[in-house]
Chain A
Amino acid sequence: MPVEIPKDTWAGQVRTITLGATAAEGGTRSHTVTIGGQKSLPFMHFEHEAPYPPLVALEIKDRRPDDWSALLLERWGDVVNAPGDWAKAAEAAGAELIVLALSLTDANGEPTRPEAAVAATKAVLASTGLPLIVWGPGQAEADNELLVPVAEATKGERIAIGLCEDKNYRTLVATAMANNHLVIARSPMDVNLAKQLNILISDMGLPLDRILMDPTTGALGYGIEYGYSVMERLRLAALQGDGMTQLPMIVTPGYEAWKTKESKVGAGMPDAWGSWEERAITWETITAMTLIESGADIVVLRHPESVRRVQTAIKDLNSVREMA
C-alpha cells in the first residue's frame, strides 16, 4: 500500500551564523564553523537536508574550577591548571568549539583581573585553531569589566561573548559591534523573553547574523522539559517565519547536568542510581541529545566521553538514508 508521506513546508528558515575568522578574514583561527540554515524541524531529511549539523563545544575555565565534579577534574588531570593546555586537550577530545568560562575570582579569592582574563583568552587562541566562545563570570559588573578588554584584545576573531541578559546587554553588544564579534543572548526559558532580548540587541545595530540565542535549559530531572518545549516552540516559530526567533540556539547541558547531585556526588547514593561515572556521563549525554533533537545548534559539554557519544549520535542523525 503506497503511503503518501506528508511534508511540512515552512515559510521561514533559521539564519546561518559563522563563528571564528581565519587569517584571510582578519583573525587567527585555522578554520571557521557554521551553524543554522535549517528549513525544517531537526533531522527531518525527507523534507530538507539541513546544511549544517549541530556542533559540540567543550567548556574550559581560566583556572582550576572550585566547584566542578571530581569526576571531571580527574578526567582532565593537570591541564585544568592552564587554559591553553586545557583548550588543546579539549580539541584533542573532539571539541568543535571551545567555550572559555572566566571565573569570578582568581585562585587567591581576589576578583579576576582583566589582564588575567585577556591572558587566558590569548593562551587559548594560541594553543588551538578552533573558534572560541568566552563567557563572563555571570555577574553584570564582572562580565563587563572582563569581557570588554577580552573583546578588544581579540578584535576580528569573531568570537562569541556572553551572556547578554535583559538586565545587562548594552556594554557587551557595544564591544562586540566595535570588535567584530558575536554575542550570546540568554533568556530564562520563555519564548517571548527570548524574542524580546533579540529585538533589544538587534535594535542596538548588531546584525542578526551575529547573535546566538541561549534559551536556557534545565538538566534531565531538573526542568529539562521546560527547556525542551521552549526550544521546540522557538524553532517552530522560526520556521513559521518569525524573524526574531530565527537565530541558531546554543544550550549548556554540560553546565546543567554536572550541577546535579546525580553527577556531582559519588558516595552514599541509592543502589538504584548505579555506578557514578556512567550515570554522570549518561546524564550529560541524554540531556544534550534530547535538546539537540528539539533544535539545539550548539551544545556545550564538559566530559570528553559525552562529546564522543554525542558526536557519534549527531553523525548518525545527520546521515540521510534512502527513505523507503
Chain B
Amino acid sequence: MPLSGIEIYKLLPQTNCKDCGFPTCLAFSMKLAAKQVELSTCPHVSDESKAKLASAAEPPIRLVTLKSNGYEVKAGNETVLFRHEKTFYHKPGLFIRVRDNEPLEDIKSRVRAIDVYSVDYVGMTLTLEGIAVESATGDPAAFSAAVRAVREATRRPLILISFDPAVMAAGLQAIDGETALVHGATTANWEAMAGLAKQHQAVLSVQADSLDGLAELTAKLKEAGVQDLVLSPVTGSLSTSLNLSTQIRRLALKKNFRPLGYPIMTFPGDLKDPDQEMIMAAQSIAKYAGFVVLDHFLPETAYPLLVLRENVFTDPQKPIQVQPGLYEINNPTPASPVLVTTNFSITYFSVANEVESSGLPAWLVVTDAEGMSVLTAWAAGKFDAERIAKAVKEFGVADKVSQKRVVIPGHVATLSGELEEELPNWEVRVGPREAVDLPAFMKQAL
C-alpha cells in the first residue's frame, strides 16, 4: 500500500539540508509519493526508514510468475475486493492434476488433450494454463518419470505436488531451469522445501489449515529467503474456501497484512464430487484464487469455466465491444433481411443469439457505437442516422442484397425519417424494441 507524502516525511531525517536538491524534506517526500524521484537521492535516510519505505512500495498481494518454455502464468498484484471498484487483473491459472501412479502413456495422452485444448469465445482463443503433477506413489523415481512424461506432452508451466522433499527434489530436477510451483511447504517440511525452492527458483506453495498456520509459515519462509509464495488453505468445502479466501484478500488489501499478501491456490477436486468441483472452481475464479487445480478435464466443463473467467476479469470501465461490420447469420442469401444494431457486446450477442436460434437467415449490420447499447448510444449521439448510413455504405450491404430494406431497433424509431434521407433508395423499417421479439417480427413482418 503506497504511503502518502506525510507518511513518508515522518521517515525522513527532517533536517531540510537540501542535499537532495529540494528546499525541504516535505517537498522531497511529496515528490517521492508521486514517484518522481528515487529515495537514494537523499544521502541521510536511515537504513530502518529505507526498509520501511521499500516494504510500503511493495504491492499488497505479491505478484508471482510461473515460467516454462516461453509460457508465463502470473497471479497476484490485485488491488480490489469487488470487480466494480476497479478491475481484477490476473486471471487465475487453471491447471489439471495428474498422478504418478497412472501409466505414463495414459498421462501423456491426457496431458496432450489438455495441452491442445482451446475454445473460441467472442473472437478470443481461451486455453488452460498447465498441468499439476502429484506424487501418489511417494517414490522419487516414479515422480521424476511422471514429470518427464508430462513435459514430453506439453510445454506449459507445471505445478509439482508432494510433501516429501526427496520426492520433490527428483521432480524439480526433471524440469531444471523452469519456474514451477512447488506444493508444498508445511510445518513439518518447510526448511527442506525452502532449500529446494531457492535451489530451483521455484514458487513455493504453503499449506496449512488455518490462517494462523499460513501466516506463521510465510513469515518463516520469508526469513529463510523465499519470497515467491502462494497460499493453499486446506478447505474441503465451498463454505470454508469462500470464507478463508475472502479473509485472506481482505487482510492483504485492507490491513496490508504482509504474511498473507500472496496469491491463493485452491483444489476444487478435493471435494471428491465432479459436479461440485466445477462449482468450487467457478467460486475460486470469482472469489480471489490465483491458481485453481482441477482433477477433471472435459471440454463441456472447461469451456464454461474459461468463459466465466473472461467475464469476471473484464475491465468494468471498458465494455467489451465487437468489431463493427456486416455479420452473416444462418447463411443469408440476397433475399434475407438486413438488421441494424450497435457494437456493445451484450447488445450484439442478444440480437445475434435471438436471430441465430430462430433459424432465420439475416444480415446484421453492427455499427460503431463506441461499445454502447442502443438507447445509451442514441442518447450520446453515437447511434444516429448518419452513423447507420455510413455503416451500411462502408460494409457494402447494397452489393449483398436484392431488396434494399433495413430494419432499425424499435428504440430508435425516431431515426427512420432521417435515415431515409441518408439512404435514398432504401426502405427503412422499424423493428421491435427488444431482441427477444425479433424472430416473431421477422416471421410476421418481413
Query: A135 at the A/B interface (Cβ < 8 Å)?
Result: no
Interface contact A293-B287, CB-CB below 8 Å:
yes
Interface contact B304-A43, CB-CB below 8 Å:
no
Q: How far is the CA of A232 from the CA of B312 in the complex (A)?
A: 13
Query: B18 at the A/B interface (Cβ < 8 Å)?
Result: no
Number of interface residues of A (CB under 8 A): 57
The contact string, 1 if C-beta is below 8 Å from chain B, for chain A 38-51, is 00010111100000
A6, A46, A233, A273: the one within 8 Å of B84 (CB): A233
Interface contact A218-B346, CB-CB below 8 Å:
yes
Query: B171 at the A/B interface (Cβ < 8 Å)?
Result: no
Interface contact A283-B209, CB-CB below 8 Å:
no
Residues A1 and B219 in contact in the complex (CB < 8 Å), given A225-B314, A293-B242 = yes
Residues A273 and B121 in contact in the complex (CB < 8 Å), given A309-B275, A309-B279 = no
Interface contact B120-A270, CB-CB below 8 Å:
yes
Chain B residues with CB below 8 A from A262, complex form? 303-304
Chain A residues with CB below 8 A from B278, complex form? 282, 285-286
Chain A residues with CB below 8 A from B199, complex form? none
A209 to chain B, nearest CB (A): 28
Interface contact B311-A272, CB-CB below 8 Å:
no
Chain B contact residues, majority secondary structure: helix
A229 to chain B, nearest CB (A): 4
Chain B residues with CB below 8 A from A289, complex form? 279, 282-283
A1, A220, A265, A278: the one within 8 Å of B298 (CB): A278
Residues A313 and B276 in contact in the complex (CB < 8 Å), given A45-B239, A225-B83, A259-B357 = yes
Chain A residues with CB below 8 A from B303, complex form? 262, 272-274, 279
Q: Which of A9-17, A25-33, A314-322 contacts B (4 or more CB under 8 A)?
A: A314-322
B239 to chain A, nearest CB (A): 5
Query: B238 at the A/B interface (Cβ < 8 Å)?
Result: yes
B320 to chain A, nearest CB (A): 9
Query: B212 at the A/B interface (Cβ < 8 Å)?
Result: yes
Chain B residues with CB below 8 A from A320, complex form? 239
Q: Which residue of A lies closest to B217 (CB)?
A: A1
Q: How far is the CA of A26 from the CA of B164 in the complex (A)?
A: 67
Q: How far is the CA of A259 from the CA of B351 in the complex (A)?
A: 12
A230 to chain B, nearest CB (A): 8
Q: Which of B6-14, B190-198, B245-253, B405-413 contacts A (4 or more CB under 8 A)?
A: B245-253
Interface contact A220-B304, CB-CB below 8 Å:
yes
Query: A260 at the A/B interface (Cβ < 8 Å)?
Result: yes
- Restricting to A256-283, which residues have a CB under 8 Å from any CB of B? 259-262, 264-265, 270-276, 278-279, 282-283
Query: A323 at the A/B interface (Cβ < 8 Å)?
Result: yes
Interface contact B119-A270, CB-CB below 8 Å:
yes
Q: How far is the CA of A229 from the CA of B346 in the complex (A)?
A: 15
Interface contact B308-A220, CB-CB below 8 Å:
yes
Query: A202 at the A/B interface (Cβ < 8 Å)?
Result: no
Q: Which residue of A lies closest to B301 (CB)?
A: A282
A97 to chain B, nearest CB (A): 21
A1, A272, A309: the one within 8 Å of B259 (CB): A1
Query: B293 at the A/B interface (Cβ < 8 Å)?
Result: no
Chain B residues with CB below 8 A from A6, complex form? 247, 250-251, 254-255
Interface contact A222-B243, CB-CB below 8 Å:
no
A224, A264, A317: the one within 8 Å of B308 (CB): A224
B182 to chain A, nearest CB (A): 22
A23 to chain B, nearest CB (A): 36
Query: A24 at the A/B interface (Cβ < 8 Å)?
Result: no
Interface contact B300-A278, CB-CB below 8 Å:
yes
- Restricting to B139-174, which residues have a CB under 8 Å from any CB of A? none
Interface contact A2-B239, CB-CB below 8 Å:
no
- Restricting to A189-232, which residues have a CB under 8 Å from any CB of B? 218, 220-226, 228-229, 232
- Restricting to B288-316, which residues have a CB under 8 Å from any CB of A? 298-305, 307-308, 311-312, 314, 316
A232, A282, A309, A318: the one within 8 Å of B300 (CB): A282
Known: A1-B219, A313-B279, A321-B239. 16 other contacts (CB 8 A): A1-B215, A5-B247, A6-B255, A221-B311, A222-B353, A259-B357, A261-B353, A261-B356, A286-B279, A293-B287, A309-B276, A313-B238, A316-B239, A317-B238, A318-B239, A324-B212
| 10 CB < 8 A contacts A-B | A220-B308, A221-B307, A228-B311, A233-B84, A262-B304, A286-B304, A289-B279, A290-B282, A309-B276, A323-B244
Closest A-B pairs by Cβ, 3 of them: A274-B300, A274-B299, A324-B210
